[in-house]
Amino acid sequence: MTLYVLDYGAGNVQSLANSLTKLGYTFQWVKCPADFDNASKLIFPGVGAFQTAIEYLTDRHLLEPLRRYISSGRPYFGICIGLQILFQSSTEAESVKGLGIIPSSIERFDDSMKAVPHMGWNRTFFVGQVTSEATVGVSDSEAYYFVHSYKAGYDSSSSDVPAKWVHTISQYGQERFASSVRHGNVFATQFHPEKSGLAGMTVLDQWLKSSDLDNTSIPSSIISKSLPQKDGFIRRIVACLDVRANDDGDLVVTKGDQYDVREKFSSAGLSVKSAGAVRNLGKPVTLAERYYLAGADEICFLNITSFRSSPLHDQPMLAVVRAAAEKVYVPLTIGGGIKDFIDPDGTFRPAVEVAGTYFRAGADKVSIGSDAVFAVEKLLANNNQPTGTSSIETIAKMYGRQAVVVSADPKRSYIDPETYNGQHSDEIVRGDDGKAWWYQCTVSGGRELRELSVIQLARGVELLGAGEILLNSIDRDGTGQGFDLDLINLVKRAVNIPVVASSGAGSVSHFMDVFNSTKVEAALAAGIFHRGEIKIPDIKEALSFKGINIRKFNT
C-alpha cells in the first residue's frame, strides 16, 4: 500500500501524521499532481473554510487530479473539510463549486438555539443494519470529536445527503447531520478520528486495513429517518496546564492562587529558600499524557509568561507542543503570546505566523488573551467596524474560526455607591451580601486592568471571528470555591459561540453546578488535577449519574 496524505496547509495535520505513525503506518505527503498517480490510498484531512480549501487545491493544480483519483475507484478518506469538498457546494461560499461527487449542499448550523461552531464530542448512529466490516470501525457506543460550523444535513430537507451516501448520523441540538458518508471507494467523516482517542484510532486503522471497499455499504431501502431524536452533544472536561520557566529556566507546570504562582512563605514546611519560587507541579508533557489517559476531553497549555518574549523563539514551548501531540490524541489548545510582534532584528512576525507555527507543531486551537482585549478596544473605537487586521481575524480567516479561542481574564470590579458613575450599568451583578460589581478585563496575566468589560470583550471577539471563549476568573482562580456562575451566565447569554468555564473548581459538585446552572459547553480545571485531589473519571461518573452527557472513559 502506498498511502498519501493531502495537506492543504490549514490547521493541524500533524496529529493525523502522529496517529498514523502510532498505528505503525508510513505515508507520504502529496506534493504535486503526479503524486495522485502513485497513491493506492489517500487521506484528505483538514479544518477550515470550504472556499480556502477549494482555492488552495485549484491554485496548486490539485483539484482535478484529486477528482480523477476518486473516480479511479481507489480508496479515499476525507476528514472534516475532506468530507465537505465532496459536495456540490456550501452555503459558506455560494459561488465556489465543490467536487460535486455527492449531489447536495453543505449548510450552516442554526445558531438560534445552540452555540456554533459545533465544537466538542458527539455520538454517531447508524441509520440501518451494518455488518461489522461495513462500519469501518465507527461505533455507535463511542463519541468522536467534531469541530465545524457547516454540516451535511439529515433533516428531511431537499438538500439532505442522498440516502445511499449516509454512513452515520449525529445530532447537535435539534439538527441531525451526516457525521460520516460512505459509498464505493469513498469514506469520509465530519469528525476528527485523529483527535478522538482510541475510538478514532480504531476508525483510521480499520480503514487502512480494509481492502477496497465494496459498493453496497448500506442498502438505501433500509435507511430510515425515524431514528430517535436525541442530542448527542457531550459536555467536555478540560485539563489546563499553566506553563512557565521556573527560576532555573526549566519549563514547568505551575498553578497560581488568583494568578500568583510563587510559593508563599507562610506555606507549611517551606524553607526560606522555597518561598518565593515558582510553584512547580510537574512536567508539562508528562502531566498532559496523564490527563489524556485519565479521560480528559481536551488539554490546554497556557504559556503564562509568553508576553515577555517572542513565541517563535520560544523553542522549549514548541518542543512541549510537539511532544504532547505525539502522546495526546484529543484536542490541544495552546495559549500565550499569540499576537503580532517584531523580532529583535526588526522583522515583523504576524500573529497568523505564530499561530501557524503552533498548528504545525500539533496544536488544534490557539488561545489569545491580551491581544483580544486590545483588538476589541480598537473595534469599539472604530464604531464596531472590523478592519480584518487583528490576530483573531487573520487567524480565523486562514485557519477557520474554530481554531481561535479567546482566553478572558476578568476580575470583579466592586462598585462604590459613593463614586459610581453609572458605567456598565446593564452588566452589574448583585451578591447576597449586598455588594455589586461588574467584570473588568485584564491583560498580561491579570497584571493590568482595562476599562473594557468582559461582556464587551465577549461580544467583540465573537464579531471578530473567535470560535470559543475560555472564561477564567481571577477572583476564583485557585480558590477551590467553585466556578463563578454569575460570570458564566452573563457571558453565555451574551454570545452564540461555545464557552469553557474556568477557575475555582474544588470538588466534583462544582462541575455538576456549572453544567446544571449554566449552558456552558465545557468546564476546565487545573489545581485539583495537578494536586491529585480529584480524578477525571470520578467527575465523569458523577455527571453521568445525574444524566449529564459525558464521554466515557476511553482513550
Please report, as ranges, the residues that interact with ligand 1PR according to CB under 6 A.
240, 242, 255-256, 259, 261, 302, 304, 306-307, 335-338, 367-371, 407, 409, 445, 472, 477-478, 502-505, 525-527
Residue 468 C-beta: closest distance to ligand 1PR, Å: 13
Residue 55 C-beta: closest distance to ligand 1PR, Å: 30
Give the nearer residue to ligand 1PR in terms of CB position, either 67 or 378.
378
Q: How many CB atoms lie within 10 A of CB 494?
A: 17
Identified catalytic residue from 242, 393, 484, 521: 242
Residue 411 C-beta: closest distance to ligand 1PR, Å: 12
Residue 359 C-beta: closest distance to ligand 1PR, Å: 16
Residue 527 C-beta: closest distance to ligand 1PR, Å: 3
Instruction: Give the residue among 86, 49, 85, 325 at the shortest CA–CA distance from 194.
Output: 325
Give the nearer residue to ligand 1PR in terms of CB position, either 255 or 492.
255
Residue 1's H or E segment, with its range, is none
Q: Which residues contact 541 (CB under 8 A, 6 or more apart)?
A: none
Distance, in Å, from the CA atom of 157 to the CA atom of 219, rounded to the nearest integer, reads 21
Residue 189 C-beta: closest distance to ligand 1PR, Å: 31
Give the nearer residue to ligand 1PR in terms of CB position, either 181 or 495.
495
Residue 375 C-beta: closest distance to ligand 1PR, Å: 11
Residue 405 C-beta: closest distance to ligand 1PR, Å: 9
Residue 240's H or E segment, with its range, is strand 236-245
Give the nearer residue to ligand 1PR in terms of CB position, either 116 or 354.
354
φ/ψ (deg, to 5) at 19: -65, -45
Residue with cell 508533557: 285
Q: Beta strand pairing status for 87-90 and 522-525?
A: unpaired
CB 125 within 8 A of CB 168: yes
Give the nearer residue to ligand 1PR in terms of CB position, either 202 or 502.
502
* Helix-helix angle 315-325:14-22, to 10 degrees: 50
What are the CA-CA distances from residue 494 to residues 232, 268, 426, 463, 465 (Å)? 24, 43, 12, 12, 15
Q: Is 92 a catalytic residue?
A: no
Give the nearer residue to ligand 1PR in terms of CB position, either 31 or 531.
531
Residue 242 C-beta: closest distance to ligand 1PR, Å: 5
3-state secondary structure of 399: helix
Q: How far is CA 442 from the centre of its chain?
A: 24
What are the CA-CA distances from residue 48 to residues 59, 88, 460 (Å)? 17, 17, 21
Give the nearer residue to ligand 1PR in terms of CB position, either 10 or 443.
443
3-state secondary structure of 493: helix
Q: Is 468 a catalytic residue?
A: no
Give the nearer residue to ligand 1PR in terms of CB position, either 65 or 504.
504
Distance, in Å, from the CA atom of 11 to the CA atom of 31, rounded to the nearest integer, reads 17
Give the nearer residue to ligand 1PR in terms of CB position, either 362 or 504.
504
CB 122 within 8 A of CB 170: yes
Q: How many CB atoms lie within 10 A of CB 126?
A: 19
Q: Is 194 a catalytic residue?
A: yes
Cross-strand pairs, 130? none
CB crowding 391-408: b at 16 or more within 10 Å, else e: bbbbbbbbbbbbbbbbbb
Distance, in Å, from the CA atom of 141 to the CA atom of 285, rounded to the nearest integer, reads 30
Identified catalytic residue from 289, 377, 393, 409: 409
Residue 432 C-beta: closest distance to ligand 1PR, Å: 22
Comparing every residue's Cβ against ligand 1PR, the nearest one is 445
Residue 517 C-beta: closest distance to ligand 1PR, Å: 18
Give the nearer residue to ligand 1PR in terms of CB position, either 193 or 295.
295
Distance, in Å, from the CA atom of 391 to the CA atom of 39, rounded to the nearest integer, reads 38
DSSP per position, 147-174: EESEE-B-SSSTTSPPGGGEEEEEEETT
CB crowding 9-36: b at 16 or more within 10 Å, else e: bbbbbbbbbbbbeeeeeebeebeebebb
Q: Is 192 a catalytic residue?
A: yes
3-state secondary structure of 427: helix
Give the nearer residue to ligand 1PR in terms of CB position, either 82 or 527.
527
Q: Is 441 a catalytic residue?
A: no
Identified catalytic residue from 118, 167, 183, 192: 192
Q: Give the chain's length.
A: 555
Distance, in Å, from the CA atom of 535 to the CA atom of 493, rounded to the nearest integer, reads 30
What residue type is 453 in one-letter code? S
Catalytic residues: 80, 192, 194, 242, 409
